Amino acid sequence: MNTTIRIPQKLIPILFQSNKKHRVIKGGRSSAKSESVGRFLNVNSLECKGNILCTRSVQNSITDSVYGLLTRLIRDLQLDQFFTVMKNEIIINATGRKFIFKGMNALADMKKQGVKGLNDIAYVWFEEASTATEQELEMLIPSIRGVKLPDGTEIQPVFVYSYNSQDCPCAVSEMIEPHEDAEVVTIHYYDNPFLPETIRKEIEHLKKVAYEKYKEIYLGEPSINTSNKVILQAWIDSAVRLYKKENYGGTVTALDPYDEGADCHACAVRKGLALTELYSWQGGDTGDATRKMVSTIIKDKKSHVIYDSVGVGAGVKSELNRLKDDGLVENITSITPHSNGEEVKHKHSIYRIRGAETGKKNKDQFSNFGAQHWFTVRELFENAYLHEQGRWDGDYITINPDLKDLKSLMIELKQIEFEPDSKLRTKIVKQPKGTKSPNKADAVMMAFRKPRILAEPIFC
């Protein structure tokens, strides 16, 4: 075989020369991260003794995976004779080994037991790895079994993670990058000698006219001014730093039950304006989740309860009423059902930000109650950032830094986006392509449904 593999010099050591188990490649757009990993795996697979697993947080169909990229690179590198491209996998002709494409939503599905049976894996490529959660990494890494040789020895798998550094911190940056058996490389467009000149000129133009946007897209730096994210990392960081153990005010517990698959139940507890506890777990139906909230999470503290009443969540109230009949809900002071699809509240009032009128009525600003309330929570997060800078003295949210699921909560909060609907009202996109349902973020949002403690009647 005589073919030229074009990979930026900066990535050659980590891909072709490293002996580390975990290899992290991050940076901004147009830096050839995915192209380089794809070329490396295509070429290495020809003499590879094992299968190659290509995964990401969410893959609902083969089109969501790197299957298309790898098949294109096979053609570009003129390697067609060495592979058989099937509908959902790619077979390496010389060895019979395969490229396997499975999302973590399938691998982590307890019902399907998707991670079981992944034997003889030589490489795992986790694309857009910043969306990975701690639980996914804790499940995936020990579950992947390496290549068994005839003499009984085993070659350990290599894990390659690629992602946009704009999304740091994330589970990979916190768990994998500090690992003693990890190597990390940051690469940007100016490290890519194969970048077309037309694209380079566009980047340089953006650098001149919109420097913040340039840094966000091509240097992978989080932006305060140009993002369509509802919650920004800098705001979350401020909320965590401002946390105090002594919090005053009533307690609110919010439950977001899940339906099926690799999703999870989530429960957030707030005291005053502080997020003090956060829980997530798999298994059991809505009734089980409700009973766990009552018997384990609320325990002996008086609490208002908010729950997602849409879909399976409708069963929460029924279960609470059953528990009430058994005398098991004495600590619940009141309950409130929550539905994002409800009509905007106070629709004829002028929408205000930190008390200042915007000139638009709530009904013209937001598409539904969910969007309206996400922006209430957004303001509380931004207020924390402004307070830390000495620019705000009013209400703001704080977060317990010891939350077990803090990193995965950050990932979910940062994935929530907003965009205009057909009437130019703000609507929320909770699940951009390639992401999972943000149950923990939804539970937190519901917990802060009203910044001040609520007064609905018990079991209204």
Give all domains of the chain, ordered by start, each with its CATH number. Answer: 9-195 (3.40.50.300), 196-226 (no CATH), 233-447 (3.30.420.240)
CA-nearest of 19, 23, 10 to 184 is 23
* Dihedral, 275, 177, 55, 28 alpha carbons, nearest 10: 90
> Could you tell me which residues come within 8 angstroms of residue 75 by beta carbon, excluding any fewer than 6 positions away?
none
Please state, in angstroms and as integers, the Cα–Cα distance from residue 215 to each residue in 20, 130, 162, 338, 391, following that order: 30, 18, 19, 38, 25
- What contacts 24+ positions apart, CB below 8 Å, involve 44-47? 44/123, 45/92, 45/97, 45/99, 46/1, 46/79, 46/82, 46/92, 46/94, 47/94
pLDDT given for residue 279 in this prediction: 94
Element (H, E) at 411: helix 406-415
> Could you tell me which residues come within 8 angstroms of residue 113 by beta carbon, excluding any fewer than 6 positions away?
none
pLDDT given for residue 149 in this prediction: 83
Q: For residues 381 and 233, what is the distance between their CA atoms, to the nearest angstrom?
A: 10
The torsion region of residue 110 among left (phi > 0), alpha (psi -120 to 50) and beta comes to: alpha
Please state, in angstroms and as integers, the Cα–Cα distance from residue 330 to each residue in 266, 269, 294, 296, 338, following that order: 22, 17, 10, 14, 22
Q: End-to-end alpha-carbon separation of the chain, Å? A: 73
- String of DSSP letters for 20-34: -SEEEEEE-TTS-HH
Q: Which amino acid is at 132?
A: A
pLDDT given for residue 322 in this prediction: 87
Cβ contact 172:147 at 8 Å: no
Please state, in angstroms and as integers, the Cα–Cα distance from residue 460 to each residue in 256, 306, 321, following that order: 19, 12, 11
pLDDT 10s per residue in the chain (460 long)?
A: 556 789 999 999 999 999 999 999 999 999 999 999 999 999 999 988 899 999 998 888 898 899 999 999 999 999 999 999 999 999 999 999 999 999 988 887 644 555 555 789 999 999 999 888 888 888 899 989 888 888 888 889 999 999 998 877 788 998 999 999 999 999 999 999 999 999 999 999 999 998 888 988 899 886 655 568 899 888 999 999 999 988 888 899 999 998 665 578 999 999 999 999 999 988 888 999 999 999 888 887 889 999 999 887 788 988 988 888 877 888 888 889 999 999 999 999 999 999 899 999 999 999 999 999 999 999 999 999 999 999 999 999 999 999 988 988 998 998 899 999 999 999 999 988 777 789 999 999 999 987 655 444 333 3
Q: For residues 236 and 432, what is the distance between their CA atoms, to the nearest angstrom?
A: 20
DSSP state of 17: I
Cβ contact 306:446 at 8 Å: yes
> Which residue bears the tokens 């795996």?
41
Q: For residues 409 and 415, what is the distance between their CA atoms, to the nearest angstrom?
A: 10
Q: For residues 415 and 437, what is the distance between their CA atoms, to the nearest angstrom?
A: 10
pLDDT given for residue 457 in this prediction: 38
- String of DSSP letters for 9-71: GGGHIIIII---SEEEEEE-TTS-HHHHHHHHHHHHGGG-SSEEEEE-S--SSGGGSSHHHHH
What is the number of residues in the chain?
A: 460
Residue 289 burial (C-beta neighbours within 10 Å; 0-12, 13-18, 19+) = buried
Structure tokens at 120: 């003889």
pLDDT given for residue 404 in this prediction: 86
DSSP reduced 3-state for 260: coil
Q: For residues 382 and 380, what is the distance between their CA atoms, to the nearest angstrom?
A: 6
DSSP reduced 3-state for 61: coil
155 phi and psi angles, rounded to 5 deg = -90, 120
